[in-house]
Amino acid sequence: MSANKKAEGSKKAEDNRKPEGNKKSEGNKKAEGNKESEDNKKAEGNRKSEGNKKSEGNKESEGAKKAGKLQLGKVLRIYRRAFGLMCRESGGYTAVLILKDVLLACGPYWGIWFGARLLDEITGGRSPRLLILYVVLLLLGNLALHFLWEFVSALEGQKRFEFSQKERGIFTRKVMEFDYGLLEEERIHVLYKQVVRETFNERKNLETLRRGLPGLIRSLVGMGLSVAMVWELLVKMSDYGLMMILFVLLAAGGIRVSTRCAAALSRLSLECSRSISENCVERDGYLDYFNQYERGKEIRIYQIGRLMIDRLLAAHHFNDRAMDRRTHKGIPVEITSGFTKEATVVLIYCVTGFAALTGRITLGGMTQYTRSIEYFIQHMRHCWSCLTTLWFNGEYLERYFEFLDTPSQMKKGCLPVEKRVDGDYRIRFEHVSFRYPGSEKYALKDIDMEFRIGEKLAVVGMNGSGKTTFIKLLCRLYDPTEGTVYMNGIDIRRYDYREYMSLFSVLFQDFKLFSFTLGENVAVAEDYEGEAVMEALRRAGMEEFLTVHETGLSTVLYRNFDKDGVEISGGEAQKIALARAVCKGAPFVLLDEPTAALDPLAEYEIYKRFNELVADRTTVYISHRMSSCRFCGDIAVFHEGRMVQRGSHQSLLADTEGKYYELWTSQARYYQEKSKGA
């Protein structure tokens, strides 16, 4: 019995100890789990930081991979085209560049050769006649080379300026040739910013070819002259065959290592430059915000500057890290390059010194050979640097020509627009549908309508109903995705593009004026008839402005380019834009909600004045307000990309189930409630 009790007691004690042990073990497991989770978090953090570092490094290595993908044949084809463009546009600029660098290469060797002869004569024959002759030839040659180089440099500066203007002209013409739709594409926008930055800010593309090709030719000429200067040493020391072979091999190895190091340094610099350049596209966008004083109000009121500064600092931090990586990678290369170069120079002095001591060469010859070999090393390093730079520049040139080769997708046509005496132009949209590039949704769907010269058409509808898109198709800023737009029975795509565009004066909702004079903004030309422009401004309601500003039509708008420019109000800007639309004298005048920011009464006054100015022209009023309908006998109602109604104000208002009735009554109710509240 007692034994059983003891056994039972021991079992109970064991059972009591077990849960305690289990608790401890569970606690240990939890502690171990926590440690593991903390370790996992740390490891994840480390992996993330490593991943960030890798991603930053990948941004630089991606550029290297892109450059590596360029094949030699492709690079040669790119440079053949670039060289042809440069020769075609430069007017002898390339030849002047090459001549300048050849003179630069030849100059030192003239001094080396005559300096060696002078030293030999001083330490040897000491003939006054020869000494004077060498001195005179040395001075005359240096003066001739110097004056010739200065003349060529002045000519090169003039040619460089002319070429830079022509290159900017190439870009300007290309942008003006772009379809309007292409300018709205993100790909083209980014490509344009990249190419402009690389070409005009970072001096790449043709500028790199301008510097690299003559530099390469200069290095080749210099290496040739160095070999010619040193060849005599090899002939005189030919008796020491084994020693000279060893000297040539060691010198060649040292030169090879030194030049490869120079190429590696150039490659590191170019990769770093490319990484920074790609990052600076976004940075420059933020800097542009600070330069646009029109954004100053929002930046200060909403304190957006702090956000933009933070992003600028992040971009600068990325650039600093890129520079640090370049420095860390470049230090060992620079040390190796410097040591190899100095060791090669010491080897050269040892060999030439030995040759001088044995009487194989003179002291003057020693200076000639050592300096020539030093210049050879210098030119070889420069040659490899030029080749590396030109190879990397092939990628930029590929993007450069991609921009220039971007084709226009719109058919420009060649038919002249008929100059009708009666001004009878009929426009017809036949089952026209349109969707913007990259979008699956139709902005316009199955528009079928016609209007003719002299008519007043109002196109009304809610925001996003397709009214502005309708105007863009009418002006051929875009071509229809489906259907056809006809003028006098002919597809408008068959007309000459510029002549067709001349038929329209458009006052867009987001119209722009430029930092030109008032007269140039209205006439859109430097040479214009002052009376016609003055009349258009007076009719647009700018009499007071012209009275206040004594400079009249010569008054510069805004201060972008002129510190004495005038900042005009929004109402004045609208009147000037109105005068510009009227002054063009086009048979079609289109108003695309230019008064959307004004109150209804002000909008009515603008439309009333505009209607008086364009009495006998075809006028299309685009608006989501109904005030424009008072001047039009024909009203088209757009909704969700379709024309859902068309008719006169009375007939549309009679249809109480129609969209026009809904818009009219809702706006009338709103203004009535607003006037009661006031």
What is the pLDDT, as a whole number, of residue 285?
66
Query: Could you please report the per-residue DSSP string of 596-616?
Result: TTS-HHHHHHHHHHHHHHTTT
User: Does position 144 have pLDDT exceeding 60, yes or no?
Assistant: yes
pLDDT tens for 330-372 read 788 888 877 888 888 888 888 888 888 888 888 888 899 889 9
Does any domain span residue 2? no
Q: Which residues face 447 on adjacent strands?
A: 432
Q: Which residues face 619 on adjacent strands?
A: 456, 589
What is the pLDDT, as a whole number, of residue 289?
66
User: Does position 6 have pLDDT exceeding 50, yes or no?
Assistant: no
Does any domain span residue 55? no
Smallest CA-to-CA distance from 219 within 54, 26, 390, 347 is with: 390
Three-state DSSP at 459 gives strand
Three-state DSSP at 391 gives helix
Query: What average pLDDT does the segment 91-97 reach?
Result: 81
What is the pLDDT, as a whole number, of residue 438?
78
- What is the chain's mean pLDDT, rounded? 79
Question: Who's near 290: CB < 8 A, 6+ residues apart?
Answer: 299, 305, 308
Q: How far apart, in whole angstroms, are the C-alpha atoms of residue 34 and residue 42? A: 12
pTM: 0.66
What is the pLDDT, as a whole number, of residue 224?
93
Q: Per the structure block, which two tokens stand in for 130?
A: 């020869």
Report for 195-209, 265-279, 439-453: range of highest mean pLDDT: 439-453
Q: Per the structure block, which two tokens stand in for 584?
A: 């063009």
User: Does position 3 have pLDDT exceeding 60, yes or no?
Assistant: no
pLDDT band of residue 46 (cuts 50, 70, 90) is very low
Number of domains in the chain: 3
Cα 271 to Cα 60, 75, 147, 274, 614: the distances in Å are 6, 18, 39, 5, 60
Pair 270, 194 in one domain:
yes
The DSSP call for residue 492 is: G
User: Does position 484 have pLDDT exceeding 90, yes or no?
Assistant: yes
Q: How far apart, in whole angstroms, are the C-alpha atoms of residue 510 and residue 115? A: 72
The one-letter code for the residue type at 605 is: E
Q: Can you state the percent helix, strand and coil of the chain, rounding each to 5?
A: 70, 10, 20
Query: What average pLDDT does the segment 604-628 reach?
Result: 74
Which range, of 225-229, 418-422, 673-677, averages the lowest pLDDT?
673-677
Other C-beta atoms within 10 Å of 462: how many?
A: 14
Pair 545, 509 in one domain:
no
pLDDT band of residue 422 (cuts 50, 70, 90) is low
Q: How far apart are the first and last CA of the chain?
A: 104
Pair 338, 439 in one domain:
no
484 within 8 A of 434, measured Cβ to Cβ: no
* Residue 622 phi, psi (nearest 5): -105, 125
Does any domain span residue 100? yes
Q: Compute and round to an integer the Cα radius of gyration of the chain.
A: 39
Per DSSP, the chain holds a count of helices (H) and strands (E) of: 20, 10
Q: Which residues face 484 on adjacent strands?
A: 430
Pair 508, 559 in one domain:
no
pLDDT band of residue 161 (cuts 50, 70, 90) is confident
pLDDT tens for 518-560 read 999 999 888 888 888 998 888 888 888 888 888 889 999 988 7
Q: How far apart, in whole angstroms, are the C-alpha atoms of residue 611 and residue 617? A: 10
pLDDT band of residue 221 (cuts 50, 70, 90) is very high
What is the pLDDT, as a whole number, of residue 483?
95
pLDDT tens for 571-614 read 888 889 888 988 888 888 888 876 655 666 666 677 777 777 77
- CATH number, domain at 267? 1.20.1560.10
Residue with tokens 């490094």: 57
Report for 246-260, 320-334, 398-412, 466-480: range of highest mean pLDDT: 466-480
594 within 8 A of 512, measured Cβ to Cβ: no
630 within 8 A of 465, measured Cβ to Cβ: no
Does any domain span residue 281? yes
Q: By residue range, what is the domain housing residue 527?
A: 515-567
145 within 8 A of 379, measured Cβ to Cβ: no
Three-state DSSP at 418 gives coil
pLDDT band of residue 16 (cuts 50, 70, 90) is very low
Question: Who's near 97: CB < 8 A, 6+ residues apart?
Answer: 156, 210, 213, 214
* Residue 495 phi, psi (nearest 5): -80, 155
pLDDT band of residue 2 (cuts 50, 70, 90) is very low
Does any domain span residue 43? no
Does any domain span residue 458? yes
Pair 190, 321 in one domain:
yes
Other C-beta atoms within 10 Å of 599: how many?
A: 9
Q: What angle do CA 219, 225, 226 make, to 5 degrees?
A: 85
Distance of alpha carbon 301 from the chain centroid: 31
Other C-beta atoms within 10 Å of 453: how many?
A: 16
368 within 8 A of 348, measured Cβ to Cβ: no
What is the pLDDT, as a whole number, of residue 433?
96
Query: Of all residues in the chain, what percent carry a pLDDT higher than 70?
Result: 81
Between these two residues, 54 and 587, which has the higher pLDDT value? 587
Between these two residues, 637 and 278, which has the higher pLDDT value? 637
Pair 432, 534 in one domain:
no
Residue with tokens 């909008």: 603
The answer to whether the Cα torsion of 461, 476, 429, 453 is positive or negative is: positive
Pair 191, 284 in one domain:
yes
Pair 536, 496 in one domain:
no
What is the pLDDT, as a whole number, of residue 61?
45
- CATH number, domain at 469? 3.40.50.300
What is the pLDDT, as a whole number, of residue 136?
92
Which range, of 402-406, 507-511, 645-649, averages the lowest pLDDT?
507-511
Three-state DSSP at 432 gives strand
Query: What average pLDDT does the segment 41-55 reach?
Result: 43
Which range, of 27-31, 218-222, 565-569, 617-621, averages the lowest pLDDT?
27-31
Question: Who's near 292: CB < 8 A, 6+ residues apart?
Answer: none
Q: Which of 339, 370, 404 is the last residue of a domain?
A: 404
Query: Of all residues in the chain, what percent carry a pLDDT higher than 90?
Result: 13
H or E stretch covering 446:
strand 444-452
What is the pLDDT, as a whole number, of residue 493?
92
Does any domain span residue 666? no
Pair 527, 506 in one domain:
no
Pair 562, 496 in one domain:
no
What is the pLDDT, as a whole number, of residue 481?
92
The one-letter code for the residue type at 177 is: E
Smallest CA-to-CA distance from 495 within 419, 414, 424 is with: 414
Q: Per the structure block, which two tokens stand in for 435?
A: 């969707």
Q: How far apart, in whole angstroms, are the C-alpha atoms of residue 276 and residue 197? A: 12
Pair 86, 211 in one domain:
yes
Pair 164, 233 in one domain:
yes
Distance of alpha carbon 177 from the chain centroid: 17
Q: Which of 404, 439, 461 is the last residue of a domain?
A: 404
Does any domain span residue 667? no
